[in-house]
Each structure stands twice: as C-alpha cells, then as structure tokens.
Amino acid sequence: MKLSILGCSGSEIPGRYPTAFLVNNDLLLDAGTVGAVLGADEQRQIHHVLVTHPHLDHVCGIPFLADALVLSEQPHKVTVYSVSQVLDALHNNLFNGIIWPDFTKVPSPISAPLKFHKLTPGVEVHFADYLVTAWPVHHTVPAVGYRIRNKDAILLYTGDTGPTDQLWQEAGEISALIVEVSFPNAMSDLALATGHLTPELLSRELLKLCCHPPLVLISHLKPEYEALICQELAELRIHGLKILHEGQTFKF
C-alpha cells in the first residue's frame, strides 16, 4: 500500500495544507487538500473519497475536484463514501446549489462527477481493491474513522477524534495508523472539549489496541504548537512514531 501525504496540518499556513491522504493514487482519505497539490492528470486518477466528518478542513477540496472533473475532456465519476450524517451535511451545507453546485446532479444526474455512497458503521464494504469499514469516533460533529484493507496491508485512519473506544477495539492487527494530535499536553481541556488529542491522550489511546502497529503516523498538529507537541511526543518514546509532513510517501 502506498500512502502519499497531500496535507496533514491542523490549520492552513503557507506550505502547510489541511488533511488529505492519497492511497495508491486512486483513493483519498479526506479531502482538505486536492487541487493545491495534485495536477489535472493526478486528479483524474482519483475514483474514491472516504470522508471522516464534514468540517471544512477535511472536505474543501471535493468541490474543486468535482469542478475540475466536469471540465475535463475525460470525465469520470468519483464516489464519496461516509455515514449518512456526514453525507447529509455535505448535501445540505456544501453541495446545495448555493455554496456550490450539486455535483451529484450537475450537469445531469447521468454525467455528474460525484456520487455519494452511504456506509453503515461496522459493516465492511468492498470497492476496487479495498475492503473498508467505518466506526464512530468522538468529535464535535458526527465523525468516523476507517480501516482500509487491500491484499498487501491494513491502514487505520482515525480522522479527527478525542478519546474513543470502538475504533481501537475493532481495529485488530494493522500495518499502519494515521492518528491526530492537535494540541500540547497543557491544552488537554481544550482538546477534550473540541474532540482532539494531545500526546498524553494519544499514549492512553494506543493502549486500547490489541497490537501496537509498526507505523504510528501523527497528523493534524496545530502549527503554533508544533515544536512543543513534537517534543512531548518524543518524550513518550512510542515505537514506530513519525510526524507527518506534506510531500512524504510511505509504502507498507
């Protein structure tokens, strides 16, 4: 499994982009960043998007991806997957014909570039080369994390979450984990109130896994606190831990 880091920042500043991870060139995990990083040919390779929750920094690339596909000489349909609450939020608040055209119907229901596919938590679905399961996580809006399997590896992606349980309990043995750490330890009250993690909270969450993964990939650091968060994570000496940066690629 190839994982490309398009964006992994907890906010947007020059050179740091909102959350988006590209798996094997055709599957996006969230879409806070698409067109700012990928050229037209690369965007046309994307066929699937897994959305964890509807916050803007995780979905704002989808409208521009849809726009690019409509204008492409080789249009194709991209399927956006999530649970019903997330897809409803996207339809009602983003692709509503006011903020952005409803690209599940425009230019026509047949030629529209987007298709929404509802997932049921805990039920594995199969598309392309992937087996995907969504589980609820703890955030300020309805949100899920994902386990993504192919013949080579198993990736667990939390999205934005505070302390949670079911995702860890159901994960099983995994090849790699993408998990957020947004704030330093001194801001744990804010982290808990907003559904995020600190280094100390992360260390407790990892104990809920049955097996420690070989790769623990840290995303969503707030740039203002990056140096302190990195220091606190280093002090924990978590095996396999790596801080993500835009432009990295991993194979596992």
pLDDT at 72: 85
pLDDT at 75: 76
In tens, the pLDDT along 55-103 reads: 999 999 999 999 999 988 787 899 999 999 999 999 999 999 999 999 9
Residue 213 sits in a domain whose CATH number is 3.60.15.10
Low-confidence stretches of the chain (pLDDT beneath 70): none
CA pair distance 166, 245, nearest whole angstrom? 28
Q: Which residue has the tokens 């009602």?
A: 92
Task: Please give the backbone phi and psi of residue 180, each rounded to the nearest 5 degrees, phi first.
Answer: -85, 145
CA-nearest of 15, 45, 29 to 145 is 29
pLDDT at 74: 80
pLDDT at 71: 86
* DSSP 8-state symbol, 13: B
Range of the domain at 46: 2-251
Q: How many domains does the chain have?
A: 1
* DSSP 8-state symbol, 142: S
Segments of the chain assigned E as strands: 2-7, 20-23, 27-29, 48-50, 78-83, 114-119, 125-127, 130-136, 144-149, 154-157, 176-180, 215-219, 241-243, 249-251
Q: Which residue has the tokens 């809920």?
A: 208
Judging by DSSP bridges, how do beta strands 144-149 and 130-136 pair with one another?
Answer: antiparallel
Give the predicted TM-score (pTM) of the model. 0.97
